[in-house]
Amino acid sequence: MTLVNRVSAFFLIALASSLAGFSLLLYGLMERNLTQQFHQRMHSAINTLIAAIEDEPDDVKWERSDHTVAIGAEDGLEEIRWAVFNEVGGTVDHSGNLSLEEERDLAEVARYELGRDSMDPEGTVHTHFRRGDREYLTAFRSAEAPKPVEERTSLEFSRLVVAVMCSNESLDRNLHELALLVGGLSIGTFLLAAIAGRWYCIKALRPVRIMADRARSVTAADFRMRLPVTDQRDEVAELALAFNSLLDQLQGAFERQQRFTGDAAHQLRTPLTVLQGQIDVTLRRPRTPEEYNRTLTLLREQATEMHQAVEGLLFLARAEGEGHPPVFEEGDVATWISRQLERWNIHTRRMDLVVQVEPDLRLSTSWALLSQLLHNLVDNAFKYSAPGSQVIVKAVRQADEFVLSVQDHGHGIFKEDQPAIFEPFFRSKSARRSGVPGVGLGLPIVQRIAQALQGRIEFESIPDEGSTFRLRVPLHPGSLGATEERPRGQVVDREPAATT
């Protein structure tokens, strides 16, 4: 079932329940009101007739000439009919619209009343029942000490019974018409609301359908398609904005993957081509030992470059996938720096390296990863600065952070290249212009290591003046350690190869 059908069905069910409840309530109130009016007419008529009886201690009298009784003057079906009966059931008087058959019915009702041993007060309505399409009411008046029959006149009685009747066909017809009216209005309202609600649901959910059609058109090779955003700024617009943001991220990741794949293939193809070419040239004719030595040395250099590229790719792939959290251990920064200097003792620019360490500085970190980060930064500084220029390494405390910086006085990085220096295989114009060998993986690895150490990399660079790269990590990096789970995408505690 589509969303439009589900929303429409819920709306219609709720509307039908509301209309049914309202119709039943309205019909019940109107039926009660009409019935009360009908009964009030009958009670009012019988009370008027009872009041017309003259009540004396020794008899009750009915003299119609002394009273003007307008009840039953009309012949309409809905008009009230009445009759007065004596203590033996004889008819004393009746309305002018009373037929013979109706008089017999009233006489039967009166005899029922006369046959009851009632102790109710005089004038109390005793009988109220329905026969077919008619309703009846009876009441009586009795003398307290009736005189003997032989002493009474023709107008004197010991007891008089008043009976009224009225057809309820008109009431039933009105109630039937009321039911048709209420039911018809409810059904009409329901149908009108169903049509309007269906139209509104389709219109309101049309953006969702458009979004679904547009989303189906997005392919794995093209993330440029975006969902339309409505002007209402409602939940549908928020959904479209969120989905477009997701598509932006997917497109960026896809484009980076494409560039990464192309660059990786290019970087691996170049040393492989050189290796294959050198081998083919060498095998064309016999060579002297010196020529073989030169060829093997060149092959070694190309193999080393390819090994560095492969190791860098593996490290970045582990950083993107799942890995174990690095082991954080507390140690002395000065001791660690002194061990790192030993790695550079054989470097031709050892004397250009200047180290400044704040005393008594301790840090909890993964020393293997921190060593690799420092190695990559120092190696880059040596590559892209002239021999004899200083490369300054500083390790200081700033507030609750450990700051490790590497500063050179080399080529610098042009401003237009700075946003991309942490992308794999990217090499700046100054690096390409200088002819310094490299594969463009050193700084991406530095950035991933900084993330693994719960820190960040900052840099400043001025072309032809030099660059400063600065690592900031917390002195005590919280509870993330070897025994607790870290977020996905962190690197394992393993040194990758030194690549640039």
Q: pLDDT digits over 391-426, tens only?
A: 999 999 998 899 999 999 988 888 888 888 888 777
Higher pLDDT: 363 or 206? It is 363
> Do both 243 and 146 map to the same domain?
no
Amino acid 250: pLDDT: 76
For 110-225, where are the E strands, in sequence order? 127-131, 134-142, 156-157, 159-167
Amino acid 460: pLDDT: 92
> Do both 435 and 448 map to the same domain?
yes
The continuous run of DSSP H or E covering 196 comes out as helix 169-216
As a whole number, mean pLDDT of residues 196-216 equals 78
Lowest mean pLDDT among 183-192, 220-229, 317-326, 435-444: 317-326
138 pairs with which residues across the strands?
A: 127, 163
> Do both 58 and 113 map to the same domain?
yes
Per-residue pLDDT for 486 more than 50? no
End residue of a domain, out of 275, 292, 318? 318
Helices (H) and strands (E) in the chain, counts: 9, 15
Q: How far apart are the first and last CA of the chain?
A: 58
Amino acid 397: pLDDT: 93
pLDDT band at residue 48 using 50, 70 and 90 as cut-offs = confident
466 pairs with which residues across the strands?
A: 462
**pLDDT one-digit tens code per residue, 296-325:** 887 777 777 677 666 666 666 654 544 556
Per-residue pLDDT for 174 more than 50? yes
In a domain, 278, yes or no: yes
> Do both 333 and 302 map to the same domain?
no
Positive or negative torsion for Cα 417, 420, 421, 425: negative
pLDDT band at residue 358 using 50, 70 and 90 as cut-offs = very high
In a domain, 490, yes or no: no
In a domain, 286, yes or no: yes
Q: Which residues of 100-128 are buried (b: 16+ CB within 10 A; e: fewer)?
A: eebbebbbebbebbbeeeeeeebbebebe
Give pTM, 2 decimals. 0.45
End residue of a domain, out of 149, 174, 199? 174
Token pair belonging to 369: 């990863």
Q: What is the largest CA-CA distance in the chain?
A: 172
In a domain, 218, yes or no: no
Amino acid 154: pLDDT: 79
Tell me, what CATH number does 312's domain have? 1.10.287
155 class by beta-carbon count within 10 Å (0-12 exposed, 13-18 middle, 19+ buried): middle
Count of domains in the chain?
3
Per-residue pLDDT for 472 more than 90? yes
Per-residue pLDDT for 494 more than 50? no
Per-residue pLDDT for 128 more than 60? yes
Separation CA 48–CA 64 (nearest Å) = 13
In a domain, 200, yes or no: no
End residue of a domain, out of 174, 205, 224? 174
Helix, strand, coil percentages in the chain from 3-state DSSP, rounded to 5? 50, 15, 35
As a whole number, mean pLDDT of residues 27-55 equals 88
> Do both 334 and 464 map to the same domain?
yes
Token pair belonging to 360: 């008594």
> Do both 13 and 139 map to the same domain?
yes
Q: Which of 167, 152, 141 is nearest to 80 (CA)?
A: 167
Q: Which of 119, 137, 116, 60 is nearest to 92 (CA)?
A: 60
> Average model confidence (pLDDT) for the chain?
79
**AA identity, residue 135:** E
Separation CA 66–CA 231 (nearest Å) = 85
Q: Which of 373, 383, 495, 374 is nearest to 446 (CA)?
A: 373
> Do both 381 and 468 map to the same domain?
yes
> Do both 392 and 342 map to the same domain?
yes
> Do both 294 and 165 map to the same domain?
no
Separation CA 372–CA 140 (nearest Å) = 118
Higher pLDDT: 391 or 433? It is 391
pLDDT band at residue 49 using 50, 70 and 90 as cut-offs = confident
Per-residue pLDDT for 490 more than 70? no
Task: Kindly state the percentage of the chain with pLDDT values over 70.
Answer: 81
| Domain, as residue range, for 248 | 235-318
Per-residue pLDDT for 485 more than 70? no
> Do both 286 and 354 map to the same domain?
no
Tell me, what CATH number does 384's domain have? 3.30.565.10
As a whole number, mean pLDDT of residues 460-471 equals 91
> Do both 22 and 169 map to the same domain?
yes
Higher pLDDT: 83 or 425? It is 83
357 pairs with which residues across the strands?
A: 395
Residue count (the chain): 500
Amino acid 479: pLDDT: 44
As a whole number, mean pLDDT of residues 175-199 equals 88
> Do both 117 and 17 map to the same domain?
yes
Higher pLDDT: 363 or 484? It is 363
Find the Cα–Cα–Cα–Cα dihedral 293, 298, 300, 303, rounded to 10°: -150
For the ranges 167-176, 205-214, 380-389, 418-427, the one whose mean pLDDT is highest = 380-389
pLDDT band at residue 220 using 50, 70 and 90 as cut-offs = low
In a domain, 480, yes or no: no
Lowest mean pLDDT among 63-67, 77-81, 166-170, 200-204: 63-67
Separation CA 210–CA 487 (nearest Å) = 36
Amino acid 355: pLDDT: 92
In a domain, 220, yes or no: no
In a domain, 494, yes or no: no
Higher pLDDT: 287 or 306? It is 287
Under 8 Å between Cβ of 404 and 395: yes
